Structure 1
Amino acid sequence: MKESWSAFDTFEPHFRPLVVIELAKGTKEETKEWLTQRIVDKKKNGGAQLLVKPLVKENGGKIDGNQNIYLVGASHLRLLLGAETVGLVKECNDSSMRTFTYSSRNTFKDFAEDNHDFLTMAERQYIIKHELENLRARDEKMIPGYPQAKLYPGKSIIRRLLTNGILVQIFPLHDSEKLKKLRYAWYGQMKISYQPLDEIRCYFGETVALYFGFLEYFTFALVPMALIGIPYYVFAWEDYDKYVMFASFNLLWSTVILEVWKRYCATMTYRWGTLLMKRQFEEPRPGFHGVLGINPVTGKEEPVYSSIKRQIRIYLVSLPFVCLCLYFSLNVMMIYFELETWALDFHEENESCFSNLMLFVPSIIYAIVIEMMNRAYRYAAEFLTSWENHRLESSYQNHLILKVLVFNFLNCFASLFYIAFVLFDMKLLRQSLATLLITSQILNQFVEALLPYWLQKRRHKKVKKRMYSLKMDTDLSLFEQVNLEKEMGTYIGTFDDYLELFLLFGYVSLFSCVYPLAAVFAVLNNITEMYSDALKMCRVFKRPFSELTANIGVWQLAFETMSVISVVTNCALIGLSPQVNALFSESKTDLILIVVLVEVNSCVAEAPAPAPCCGGRETPSTVLYNGL
């Protein structure tokens, strides 16, 4: 493949701009010339062999104040060669899935020399991003014009430009016509139907499509729970202790749905070609720093940081901080119970409609405080995880997710466990669960959907008609489109979206047996979430770069762990129920032994298998043993 590059001329005078690069104002001309030259240079000379031009007006003149914006594209031939480089898997004429190679291009389904849609737009933008990120320094010792921005052989040029503030942002362009069709099929018409996951994948990539696929699957999986919960709630409104049958169904439901999802996910990713993709050796993350040295595995020159120093930071700083936050969360929980006691006493003294409403005030206040604490802790966890200086992005994400999940789990569910297994108050458990669930859903919808959309409209108040035209029609010039899109918010990924679903799954699987309407509210929340998240992707945020993935990653382990906890919780609730206790009125020891035996057997069958090791990556299971 290396020899084949010199045999191809991938230059094309007219190209379709796919990616936008915005440099900082005041960037020196020699820096611009050097960067653009490296982008267009041939591969054998260390370039990306792409096409680049500055943003220009329709009349061809330079734009005052926007000379720092460049458009990047590539010829059709260059994109095909790039598809082979990144190892894209495509469907062949015999319906098999194989890694694309240019030499055997005619054996792939729908391939034609003049078919520029053989690669999806998300794949084309991913290829350009991959080539730009792999622009490596060769003989340069610094970025031209910036002596303080040191370079060394093998260093990513784009990452160095970003860390030094020379490169402001890099993002893929929207396709107005395809976005119009996607939004109409996705949320532009009010009807009950499946989401167009294949179209979402073609436009936004596999990571975003898998999130919406999981959201859709989780919503449908909640429907049986909701259908059973409504009559169960109606006919057992005052019987807080008659939950054995629903808890038993909960056990089966939480076990089955995740196993079915893994099969469904594998089917989708096989069709998309990411299930069979070979993992590439993971490069150091942009924020990783250390003394320049040689990687003993790759032999490349890169920063080196002592793992002992990292472990010291984890165990002597991060771990105590997390424990301190958990202790603070428990103290807030105890204050909540004091407020509950005060509200109950107030109601017993007054017995009025107002006192009835006051019974819900402590739970509402506590739900709001929980959301505030979760968001504040999230920023602290990001700072700590970055300070730990993890070499790989996967390791960084795993440690961050573990920190956030531990705190969120205790913060959101500790009070419910305390009510269920310490106070044994099922009436208060139902009230608290209902209040926490509904309040958190309202807050999340406001913070994650309505507020960003309102801020976006306010930010573009002067050009909102043009922005609407950008999303609905195709009459904006390229100049107007780029200048509108560069002001949009940046989509930070699916982390918060999966976290919300994780907590929702916890509310339903852990204690919905005492509040059967939990699944009903979860279904309603997910339906609105589909539309609000789709609206955000199409109207509020810049288009994110596609990320190739075969599954939902560490979140699969998180949901499976929650499923194990739900099995233990529901078994314990069944053991505490008056109906089961009546069967063992003479010997409580037999009851305890049976409950423990059922829990052990269920947990063994439910326990998530450790993920297999892969080249250069830290698996989610490993993180559990390596601490926070």
Structure 2
Amino acid sequence: MADASFFHEIWKRRQHEVGYDWDVADFEKDEETVRPEFVAAVRRKRLNPVNKSVEPYVPFWSKCYRYFTSITVLVFFFCLVLAALFGVIVYRVVIATVLYVSSDGIIQERTNLIASSTAAVINLIIILVLNFVYQKIALGLTDLEQHKTDTEWEDAFTFKMYLFQFVNYYSSIVYIAFFKGRFTGYPGNYDYIMLNSRNEECDPAGCLIELCVQLAIIMIGKQAFNNFKELILPKLVVWFRSREVKEDDDIIYSRWERDYHLDTMPALGLFDEYLEMVIQYGFVTVFVAAFPLAPLFAFLNNVIEIRLDAYKFVTQWRRPFAARAEDIGIWFGILRGISAIAIVTNAFIIAFTSEFIPKLVYQHRFNNGSMDGYIDFSLSHFKVEMFQNSSRPLNVDEELFPQAVTTCRYRDFRNSDRPEEFTEAYWQILVVRLAFIVVFENLVVFLSWLVMYLISDTPYYVKLQILREKYLLNKALLDADILKTQKEAQKNNVENS
């Protein structure tokens, strides 16, 4: 997480440096004009107290109504994402139940892997389909809000689109990391999601493996799909347009005619490129504790992405129009927000999803530095006679179990006689988990603050150049005032004489 803060500070330094070189440091405040769409759509006008000109404006009550409409639609689609997630959960429960009763032993052994992998693929398909719908909805809502400048419009659209993408891509991962297996009950008092299906449980090895599989499929699948779309679609468009003209040996097919058949840059410009990188940044930072290979896959993807984008801009797209911008807009604030969320999520993943804390407590509290017997320590006993009828094991193999099974073991820290009560070890581990979260978050925040303090936002030579410009500007104004005063004095002397 301190690396993320280091990245932010280096980015700000480079941003100020480039902004000074291109003279866009105060572009949004001094030079940006009103959107033509805003002027055409807004009928009310009022006097601007600054420049004393009549200009269109949106009343406060109208803004409240429009923003309330946007928020309502956003909440509806967030609920739609959660409904899709619930459907994937139901699919996973049903497919796991079907595979468990299969006669094929290989399938039975790999039930959890098959169910989680296929569910992740289905979830990826749902994500890709909903993304197309989300973009249309976000465009409509942003136009409804009637923003005055292009920067305000782009920031509002970006924020909505990223919220859509955040919930869409990360909801299933957050569910597996923090909620799956937490509300299953215990033997004798299981919780049911449907009539005869218990709530989802983690694999006996824990939910971390399934979380890693989910992350790998969604992250790698998304990157592969985006690279395919960015390369194949422009080539197909160019190919179909070029088929419209038949070349002849007697006709010279000029360069500008060939360029005319190239595809145009999308209306949103580089928005898709920024969105792809920010979503990837979320995978790399927010869930890196669960999928340590995420930075490696992100690096490999970006190496390929650079070459694909270069090929696309040079050979498949027409030359885009240049547009000035002060910075990357709201994207930088989103990156800062992701880094803040990443501190909390990684702390909880390490403390509650992984086995790091229970192993640490067992090793140093119960077994004098050794891990021998940890599996037995992490399993609780339960009397079979206390099973609910719907959960009682059936068709026990008498050859494998010649004697009647009286107790079973399951992952938890509960009393054998009263399973509704937790053991002392559970409360000790819980205290250590909460203490770890507090220490981890405060340590990372301190390191982030230290990086921000040590690295200046603006390079030293840029500060000197800005101060030099201000000095020359003030000197020029002073010289102009002195010259004007001298001319007025000379004029008065001539008139008096």
Please give the range of the TM-score, normalised by the shorter of the 2 chains: 0.5 to 0.7
Match of 1:389, as an amino acid?
Answer: Q
Query: Which residue pairs with 1:325 in the alignment?
Result: 77
Select which of 567, 578, 584 maps to 2:355.
578
278 and 343 in structure 1: CA distance in 2 versus 1, 3 angstrom threshold: closer
SS at match of 1:264: helix
Per the TM alignment, residue 459 of structure 1 is displaced from its structure 2 partner at its CA by 1.9
Contact 2:242 2:261 in 1 (8 A): no
Kept after mapping to 2: 8 A contact 1:449/1:536: yes
Distance 2:154 2:21 in 1: 27
Q: Distance in 2 between matches of 1:465 and 1:603?
A: 64
Give the distance between the partners of 2:105 and 2:154, measured in 1 at CA. Answer: 51
- In 2, distance between residues paired with 1:521 and 1:506? 13
1:292 and 1:414 map into 2 onto residues whose CA distance is: 42
Determine if the alignment matches structure 1 residue 534 to structure 2 residue 310.
yes
Percent identity, aligned pairs only, is 25
Q: Secondary structure at the match of 1:287?
A: helix
Partner of 1:334: 86
Partner residue, 1:287 = 37
Distance 1:433-1:464 versus aligned 2 partners, 3 A rule: farther
Confirm whether residue 438 of structure 1 aligns to residue 220 of structure 2: yes
- Residues paired across the two proteins, number: 349
Q: Is the counterpart of residue 595 in structure 1 residue 432 in structure 2? A: no
C-alpha displacement at 1:582, in angstroms? 4.0
The match for 1:401 is: 158
Instruction: Provide closer, same or farther for how the CA distance between residues 521 and 347 of structure 1 changes in structure 2, counting only shifts above 3 A.
Output: farther
Give the distance between the partners of 1:594 and 1:357, measured in 2 at CA.
Answer: 34
Single out whichever of 503-512 and 557-566 deviates more from structure 2: 503-512
Please give the alpha-carbon distance, in whole angstroms, between the structure 1 residues aligned to 2:247 and 2:271.
32
Query: Which of the numbers 455, 467, 471 marks the counterpart of 2:237?
Result: 455
> What CA distance in whole angstroms lies between the structure 2 residues aligned with 1:343 and 1:587?
34
2:345 matches 1:569: yes
Q: Is 2:145 the counterpart of 1:368?
A: no
Query: Is contact 2:357–2:432 with CA below 8 Å preserved after alignment?
Result: no
Q: Does 1:306 align with 2:83?
A: no
Structure-to-structure mapping, 1:162-181, within 5 angstroms: none
CA contact (8 A) 2:138 2:157 kept: yes
Structure 2 unaligned regions, length at least 5: 182-206, 362-424, 458-497
What secondary structure does 1:515 align onto? coil
Partner of 2:364: none
Larger radius of gyration: 2
Tell me, yes or no, if structure 1 residue 558 matches structure 2 residue 334: yes
TM-score by length of 2: 0.63
More helix by share: 2
Deviates more, 1:577-586 or 1:540-549: 577-586
Q: Tell me the CA shift for residue 331 of structure 1.
A: 0.8
**SS state at 1:302 partner:** strand
Q: Go from structure 1 to structure 2 and tell me whether the alpha carbon gap of 1:545 and 1:352 turns closer, same or farther (over 3 Å shift).
A: same
2-structure distance, mates of 1:550, 1:259: 17
Instruction: Provide the C-alpha distance between the structure 2 equivalents of 1:490 and 1:417, rounded to a whole number of angstroms.
Output: 35
**Which amino acid is 1:488 matched to?**
D
Deviations 1:189-218 (A, max 9, x none): xxxxxxxxxxxxxxxxxxxxxxxxxxxxxx
Q: Deviations over 1:463-485 (max 9, x none)?
A: 4979xxxxxxxx965xx616843
**What code does the residue aligned with 1:361 have?**
T
Q: Aligned match of 2:297 in 504, 513, 521?
A: 521
Asked if 1:498 is matched to 2:274, the reply is yes
* Contact 1:378 1:404 survives alignment (8 Å): yes
Q: 1:327-359 CA deviation, whole Å, 9 max, x = no partner?
A: 010010111122222333344333447976665
| Alpha-carbon distance change, 392 to 273 in structure 1, aligned in 2, over 3 angstroms | closer
Secondary structure, in 3 states, of the residue corresponding to 1:512? Answer: coil
Output the CA distance in 2 between the equivalents of 1:587 and 1:365.
36
Aligned to 1:231: none
Local SS of the residue matching 1:546: coil
> Structure 2 matches for 1:177-256, cutoff 5 A?
251-256=1-6
Q: Secondary structure at the match of 2:148?
A: coil
Letter paired with 2:440: V
Verify the 8 A CA contact 2:166 2:279 in the aligned structure 1. yes
Shift of 1:605: 6.7
The change in CA–CA distance for 1:281 and 1:272 in structure 2 (over 3 A counts) is: closer
CA distance in 2, matches of 1:531, 1:483: 22
Per-residue deviation, residues 270-305 of structure 1 (Å, max 9, x unmatched): 444444768424322121122253441333343333
Residues 3-29 of structure 1: per-residue CA shift (max 9 Å, x gap): xxxxxxxxxxxxxxxxxxxxxxxxxxx
Supply the distance in 2 between the matched residues of 1:362 and 1:559 (Cα, whole angstroms).
Answer: 29
Q: Secondary structure at the match of 1:291?
A: coil
Offset of residue 587 of structure 1:
5.8
In 1: Cα distance, 2:295 partner to 2:53 partner: 52
Distance 1:512 1:344, change over 3 A: farther
Once residues 58 and 299 of structure 2 are traced to their aligned partners in structure 1, the CA distance between those partners, rounded to angstroms, is 47
**TM-score of the superposed pair, with normalisation by structure 1:** 0.51
Rate the CA distance shift 1:430–1:395 in 2: closer, same or farther, 3 A: same
Q: Which amino acid aligns with 2:91?
A: L
What is the SS of the residue equivalent to 2:56? strand
CA distance, structure 2, for counterparts of residue 292 and residue 536 of structure 1: 44
Spell out the pairing of 1:457-496 with structure 2 (5 A cutoff): 457-463=239-245, 477=254, 481=256, 484-485=259-260, 488-492=263-267, 493-496=269-272
How far apart in 1 are the matches of 2:173 and 2:431?
A: 26
Counterpart CA distance in 1 for 2:355 and 2:44 is 66
- Runs of 5+ unmatched residues, structure 1: 1-250, 467-474, 612-628
Give the Cα–Cα distance (whole angstroms) in 1 for the partners of residues 161 and 226 of structure 2: 17
Q: Is the 8 A contact 1:419 1:428 kept in 2?
A: yes
| Deviation (angstroms), 1:392 | 1.8
Which residue type is aligned with residue 34 of structure 2? P
CA contact (8 A) 2:208 2:290 kept: yes
CA drift of 1:505 comes to: 0.9
Q: Deviations over 1:221-253 (max 9, x none)?
A: xxxxxxxxxxxxxxxxxxxxxxxxxxxxxx333
The Cα RMSD (Å) is: 3.1
In the alignment, is residue 418 of structure 1 matched against residue 175 of structure 2?
Answer: yes
Q: Is the 8 A contact 2:288 2:346 kept in 1?
A: no
